[in-house]
Structures are given as C-alpha cells and as structure tokens.
Amino acid sequence: MKLLVTGGAGYIGAVLVNKLIDAGHQVNVIDDLSNGFVENVGENANFINGSILDNDKLNRALEGVEAVFHLAAKIRVEEGERQPELYKKVNIDGTLNLINKCIDKNIKKLVFASTAAVYGDPEDFPVNEDSKVNPVNVYGLTKLEIDKYLEKNAKSLGLSSICFRFFNIGGALKTKKGNWLKIKHEGATHLIPSILHSSNEKPLLIFGNDWSTKDGTPTRDFVHVVDLVEALIKSLTKLEIPGNQIINLGTSTGSTVLEVVKTAELALKKTISYRFTNRRAGDSFALVTSNEKAKQVLGWVPNKSLSEILQDAQAELLANH
C-alpha cells in the first residue's frame, strides 16, 4: 500500500515508517522536524520537509496515498499551557485540514494518534474506552476535539478511522541496519528520559509523594514504542467500514514512579538520584488502561517489559547523544 505518515521523523513516527517499509509498503512522510530528525526517515521513504498547515506540501504528501497515519502534533504539556493558540492551530486546525484533504482526494482510511490525556484525572482504574473524558490540559483538549469530530462525522464523510489513545510510551528501535532511531531529548519532561538524564548533581524530580497510590507517587502505564507501532500496523486491516473506533493502547499494568526508578536501577545497573517536589498542574494520580478492546479488535498483545523499555531507551541515548 502507499501510505502517508505525518510526523514520520519523530519518536513514534520514525519507528512506524521503518516497520511499514520493512513490511513492503511505500511510505510518504511529512514532518517539519520540530520534534524529529531527518536521518530517522531512511532513504526508502519519500520525505517532504514541511508542516501539515502548508497546503502545497500536504497535497504533495497525499499524492496517490491510500491510508494516512496522523502522528504530527504539538505534544508537550507545559508548552501547551503557555501557548494554547499554537496547540489549537496545529493539533485541531492542522488535523481538520488534513481530514478535509483526505476527503477531497478520496482517501478513506485514517489512523489518528490521540492520547490518554483525554481522560484527565480519571475515576476509573484501569480506564477503558467508555471512561469519562475530562482533559486537564490544553494538549489533551486538542486531541479530544479530534476524537469527538471523528466520532460524530467519520461515517457521514465515508471515512474509516481509528483514534488510538496512547498511554506512556518508552523504549527505542534498533533498525535492521544496526542503528538506533534518534529520540529528541532536549526539553523532554517524560519520566523515562528524565531518569536517563538524572545525576547526583541533577536528580530526578518526582512530582508529589502524597498521591493516593501504594507508595504516594503517581502510577503510569508504560508501553514499548515497538509494541505500540505493531498495533498501528495491525489497524490497517481494520479500516474497511466507514465510522470511527476509539482504542486505548497500553499494557494494562501500572507502575508507580518509584517502581519505575527501582526497575531502572536493576535494568541499568546504576543508582538513580531523585528528590520529591510539589505536584505539577495537570498531572493525574493514575493513568492505566485496560487493553481488552485492542486485544479483541486487533488481536494485539504487548510483549516488551518495563526493563526492556528502559534498556532500549538507555541504548539509544548512549548511541546517539
């Protein structure tokens, strides 16, 4: 198939592009490189350097395409709080622009990268696709806007779409050539990069130790990027009937921040320095998903452990930075 991956030079996108090409697909990539690296794309993909807000480049990227994986987005929670207009422009307007172009060009298959952030501070543990949505940050709000748009309009547009709500993603991919796809670490605020970059001089900051969890630190659901991408690729065969599906992607196993630190110490054979600080605005105590729907609809089961996620993340850091 000929496919478009928006954001295909970024963290998840680059792994997806690599795996799609390995599976024999033709792949176009559009990426403005604000969160990615051109060397991630590989010479077998057709790369267009530009934004999804640039109509000329988007038209080029969509040429002859049968299905679109839409991963391009602004994704940093803190930045979204500071620059809500930018986040709305890229994540909402940019996506609607892409959807309209797909309809114009008779492209009927769309996979959308949504986020667990749409659930906000959930009451359910684990959450599922029917859990109440209540985003507590701009990033989550912008993603939910598209989920809702597709829920309401996909069928009447003749579009077959899946909104995947990603939980916490970690790990990295070593390609068949033997290189690790690059991950952007500057400004990263997620837990695993923060653990890897911590030191005695700059300890890991744990935001709150008074949450209602077993050790007082927030609980998260970590899924390996390679497992996650496998679910995205499996979804290509499930885009036959017009309408939208929402599917959560996670392991359904929760780990507290302190448990992740302890696992990191064992997996990476080093001591992790950390200190507690105040809770962050927009954080939730626990975000863990059931993955029953992913199992039923896609036949997807994640295989990689938290230790493997940490080891691969460390290997990428040592190889590329």
Q: What percent of the chain has pLDDT over 70?
A: 98
In the chain, the amino acid numbered 304 is K
- In this structure, what DSSP letter does residue 211 have? S
Q: Shortest CA distance to 289 belongs to which of 300, 279, 280?
A: 300
Decide if 259 contacts 95 (C-beta within 8 A). no
Q: At 67, which helix (H) or strand (E)?
A: strand 67-70
Say whether pLDDT at 186 is over 70.
no
Compute the distance between CA of residue 133 and CA of residue 287 in angstroms, rounded to an integer: 12
The class of domain 2-172+222-250+288-302 in CATH terms is: alpha beta
Nearest 5 degrees, angle CA 154-CA 162-CA 236? 115
Overall average pLDDT of the 209-218 stretch: 93
Check if 274 is active-site.
no
Which pLDDT tens digit goes with each residue over 64-120?
Answer: 999 999 999 998 888 899 999 999 999 999 999 999 999 999 999 999 999 999 998
The per-type count for the chain, helices as H runs and strands as E runs, is 12, 14
Q: What is the pLDDT of residue 270?
A: 94
Question: What is the arithmetic mean of pLDDT over 221-242?
Answer: 97
The pLDDT tens digits for 22-74 are 999 999 999 999 999 999 998 899 999 999 999 999 999 999 999 999 999 99
Model confidence at 123, pLDDT cuts 50, 70, 90, reads: confident
Instruction: Please say if the pLDDT value at position 173 is more than 60.
Output: yes
* 3-class SS of residue 278: coil
Mean pLDDT of 290-309: 96
More confident residue, 123 or 299: 299
Per DSSP, 245 falls in state E
Catalytic residue among 119, 139, 149, 274: 139
Question: Per-residue confidence at 124, pLDDT binned at 50, 70, 90?
Answer: confident
pLDDT of residue 195: 94
Mean of all residue pLDDT scores within the chain: 94
Cα dihedral sign, 10-5-95-64: positive
Contacts with 34 (C-beta within 8 Å, 6 or more apart), sequence order = none
Per-domain boundaries in the chain: 2-172+222-250+288-302
Nearest 5°: phi and psi at 315?
Answer: -60, -40
CB-count exposure of residue 214 (10 Å: 0-12, 13-18, 19+):
exposed
Q: What are the CA-CA distances from residue 176 to residues 56, 180, 252, 303, 307 (Å)?
A: 34, 9, 29, 19, 22
The region that residue 174 occupies, defined by phi over 0 for left and psi between -120 and 50 for alpha, beta otherwise, is: beta
Q: What is the pLDDT of residue 157?
A: 97
Mean pLDDT to the nearest integer, 296-301? 96
pLDDT, residue 122, reads 86
Instruction: Note the pLDDT of residue 121.
Output: 83
pLDDT at residue 187 tops 70: no
Question: What pLDDT sits at residue 284?
Answer: 76
pLDDT in tens, 140-172: 999 999 999 999 999 999 999 999 999 999 999
